[in-house]
Amino acid sequence: MKADLLIQLALTFASLSLMAVGGVVAIVPELHHQVVEVNHWMGNATFAHLFAIAQVAPGPNMMVVSLIGYHLAGWQGLIVATLGFLLPAGCLAAFAGTLISRYEGTWQLAAVRAGLTPVALGLFAAGGVVLCRVADQDGTGIGLSLLGVAFTLALDLNPLWVLAAGALAGTALSAL
């Protein structure tokens, strides 16, 4: 039933939205768990492909959620997934955000930020590792991931360059 799928999509992405402390990347492990392991909406390969498409397409990186919705249930899935992900955190940002911006410059806000940052960073890196684990099927994949790490640490360039280079290299190697 499509209605069941849409409701499930909305609930899944709404709960992910509120867990996204540290941004969208930090919830990649949970997104993968829900979409691939719990609901069996797609396999690892499709999940990795959709993530790659969202990375090179324009727009904020939350678009991966919209893309998953569209892939699963067409334009209705796109709307439900996007709004499901936007509304809970968005309402919090609109109301709580206006409230806390009054505390700018106080030690209390600095303390909360100092407490959130390390956890968010740890989860962000974990998101990267889980994506590598999902996408890397062989030695070439692992090599490409290491290339991505090295490029990012060494250079301050748009990641599109290394993504394009990686796509070329990976495709060429597979044809050998």
Partner 1 sequence: MTIGNKDLFVGFLKIGMMGFGGVAPVARHVIVEDRRWMDDKEYAALLGFGQLLPGANVTNMAILLGMRHGGFLGVLAAMGGMLAVPLLVLMAVSTAYSHAASHPVVGHALASMASVAGGVLIGTGLKTARKAKLDRLGIAFAGLGFVAVAGFHLPMIWVLLSLLPFSVALAWRRHKRS
State the nearest-atom distance from the C-beta of 64 to partner 1, in Å. Answer: 9
15 to 54: interface string for partner 1, x by CB under 8 A: x-xxxxxxxxx-xxxx--x-----------xx-xxxxxxx
State the nearest-atom distance from the C-beta of 61 to partner 1, in Å. Answer: 7
Binding partner 1 by CB under 8 A: which of 9, 62, 73, 80? Answer: 62
Cβ within 8 Å of residue 111, ≥6 positions away: none
- Per CB under 8 A, does 59 bind partner 1? yes
| Pick 8 or 82: Cβ nearer partner 1 | 82
The CA radius of gyration of the chain, in Å to the nearest whole number, is 18
State the nearest-atom distance from the C-beta of 34 to partner 1, in Å. Answer: 10
84 to 103: interface string for partner 1, x by CB under 8 A: -xx-xxx-xxx-xxx-xx--
Binding partner 1 by CB under 8 A: which of 3, 4, 40, 104? Answer: 104
Q: Encoding tokens for residue 67?
A: 């893309």
